[in-house]
Structure 1
Amino acid sequence: MDTELLKTFLEVSRTRHFGRAAEALYLTQSAVSFRIRQLENQLGVNLFTRHRNNIRLTTAGERLLPYAENLMSIWLTAKKEVSHTSQHNELTIGASSSLWECMLSEWLVALYQQHKDLQFEARISQRKSLVKQLHERQLDLLITTESPKMDEFSSQLLGHFDLALFSAAQKTTKSELKYLRLEWGPDFQQHETGLISNDGVPVLTTSSAQIAYKLLQQLNGCSFLPVEWAKKREGIYLVPDSTTLSRPLYAIWLQNSDKQSTIKELFKTPLIAQ
């Protein structure tokens, strides 16, 4: 099976348009059409119904879709594993946007200064996606506020950091402010109850601390931000009647990872200032 045929099939199924699929794949539209015909000939079925601009998956196409996604995922993982045999100095680290903005970017700077022989990939995504990537060996190290309960993972508690409500207005209580929800993981949402005003329906939900920070003044809002990070920002203040929450920070990796010794060496560089 030619993986390029599957890749083309997935792009056409995503865009439902041969022209847009061609643009995304940097191919001509005729090349895309030819690849789809090749795949259909190999399988002996039609994968799409074609009526001008109305392109839809056939029943056979719908059935192929999850298999194609899985096969491409396995192929990409295999490519990475094979490439890692000659790239042992490359390490992929994944975390949420807020963790990268508030803590990990400075840590990465320190890592480059202390480990000049290493190359890093800093990957930003939601925790659920990163856990999946770690499980599929597309990720070497996950930094998160919640440790996944999976036997094949090893974990290390790196420390704790404090979250508190901050706003752009001095001496303004939380009942006078609109709530901007910054995502700190599913279990943190349980702690939010009772810590914000009774009608604290978020006017904004984001995974970026920078976005929340930028909109505090414009939206007359408040948001839970890391205390040490917020202290370095201009124009924001601790909400007087807010509660400070301590959050753990974990490092997660596969127990049988061939990068374990390198990963543990990284932790000699403090991630959270003591």
Structure 2
Amino acid sequence: MINIIWLKTFCTLADIGHFTRTAEILFMTQSGVSQQIKKLEQQLSTPLLIREGKSFILTDAGLQLYQEGQSLVTANERLGQQLRQDDAFEGRIRLSTPGSIGLNLYPFLLDLQQQHPQLIMTHAFAPNKSIERDVRLRHVDLGIMTQPSSCDDVLCEAIGQEALVLVTHSSIQKIDWDLLLQLGFISHPDGNHHCNTLLSRNFPQFEHVSQFTEKGFSNQISLILEPVSRGFGFSVLPMYAAKAFAAQHKICIHILSVAVNETLYLCRHTQVSQSQRIKFISERIKRFLAIN
């Protein structure tokens, strides 16, 4: 592999045509320029210059290297500038969240992209385990989880809470145990966990979600409440998901006597230094969740 520093020195010398002037431009000594040219010739096993006193001409190999090497030097310098550039309002943001918070958060992220068009928002819905894995493997820059990570490579910060709610058809305004048994349960990927968490705190009769007849299942967060809105059963969801359902007039969101909240954790890789744009997005997410 060609040493890019020696190549830059050679291309500058070929441009200027003078050792002393090249040394001044590169803040080197003349002997330093000569040494780098000799090292480059040794590395390539071919002469690049034909020296004639204090002047020189390029060999055929030197001319070819000069013609093609300039683009390599330019590309290297451009890459360095891009890597050093750390603009809070430019670049790609890769974020993964549970479906419920994502329904609420993604439009807000798109608002930020409209304000700062050089930001590119990449958002995915995923369960906790997948989010944890993607943060650990650096497939995403940030994740939001509803439980802290057990992985040493994933740093979690509690940034808010999300209430769990019971949802029925709009015709049902009051809930009791017998009615829940009669309605049956509309399940989803986190349905058992949410149901166990909320109902165990509010109904002494509750032992397990299997006490209810399962009346349906959906793994699409925006469609879980569709069968509920048609009176097929009840479901338990985070508040964000319930409020995001399009036909709000067809459902009733019940706040039970014992409130149950899931803590939301903002997660990132412990070993990765945060760029300015990641810091910017992190702070805006925290502020957004604090008021929503």
TM-score range normalised by the length of the shorter chain: 0.5 to 0.7
Q: Is the 8 A contact 2:228 2:234 kept in 1?
A: yes
1:267 is matched by which residue type in structure 2? S
Deviation at 1:221, TM superposition (A): 1.3
1:191 matched residue in structure 2: 197
Aligned match of 1:107:
108
In the alignment, is residue 271 of structure 1 matched against residue 288 of structure 2? yes
Q: Which structure shows the higher helix fraction?
A: 2
Q: Secondary structure at the match of 2:263?
A: strand
Distance 2:256 2:119 in 1: 45
Contact 1:95 1:143 in 2 (8 A): yes
- Long gaps (5+) in structure 2: 1-81
Name 1:227's counterpart in structure 2.
239
Give the letter for the 1:246 counterpart.
N
Distance 1:224 1:240, change over 3 A: same
Contact 1:93–1:139 under 8 Å retained in 2: yes
- Residue 240 of structure 1 and its aligned partner are, at CA, apart by 7.4
1:126 and 1:86 map into 2 onto residues whose CA distance is 34
1:208 paired to 2:220? yes
Per-residue deviation, 1:216: 0.4
CA displacement at 1:90 relative to structure 2: 0.9
1:168-199 deviation line (CA, Å, top 9, x unaligned): 13225333321123444886465156357662
1:215 counterpart letter in structure 2: P
Partner of 1:218: 230
Distance 1:118 1:240, change over 3 A: closer
State the distance in 2 between where 1:95 and 1:153 align: 15
Q: Once the 2 structures are TM-superposed, how far is the Cα of residue 231 of structure 1 from its aligned partner? A: 4.9
Question: CA contact under 8 A between 2:163 and 2:239: conserved in structure 1?
Answer: yes
Select between 148-157 and 234-243 the one with higher mean Cα deviation: 234-243
Give the 3-state SS of the residue equivalent to 2:278 in structure 1: helix
Preserved CA contact (<8 Å) 1:178 1:221: yes
How many pairs align?
190
Q: Distance between the aligned counterparts of 1:136 and 1:265, measured in 2?
A: 22
Q: Could you tell me how far apart the structure 2 residues matched to 1:90 and 1:186 are? A: 35
Amino acid of the structure 2 residue aligned with 1:95: T
> Does residue 150 of structure 2 align to residue 149 of structure 1?
yes
Query: What is the one-letter code of the residue matched to 1:217?
Result: S
User: Residue 262 of structure 1: CA displacement?
Assistant: 2.7
- Residue 24 (structure 1) aligns with: none
Report sequence identity in percent.
18
* 2:131–2:144 Cα contact (<8 Å) kept: no
Aligned-partner Cα distance in 1 for 2:191–2:147: 7
Does 2:270 match 1:255? yes
5+ unaligned residues in a row in structure 1: which ranges? 1-83
Distance 1:245 1:202 in 2: 23
Question: Secondary structure of 1:267's match?
Answer: helix
Distance 1:130 1:268 in 2: 19
86 and 93 in structure 1: CA distance in 2 versus 1, 3 angstrom threshold: farther
CA RMSD across the alignment: 3.2
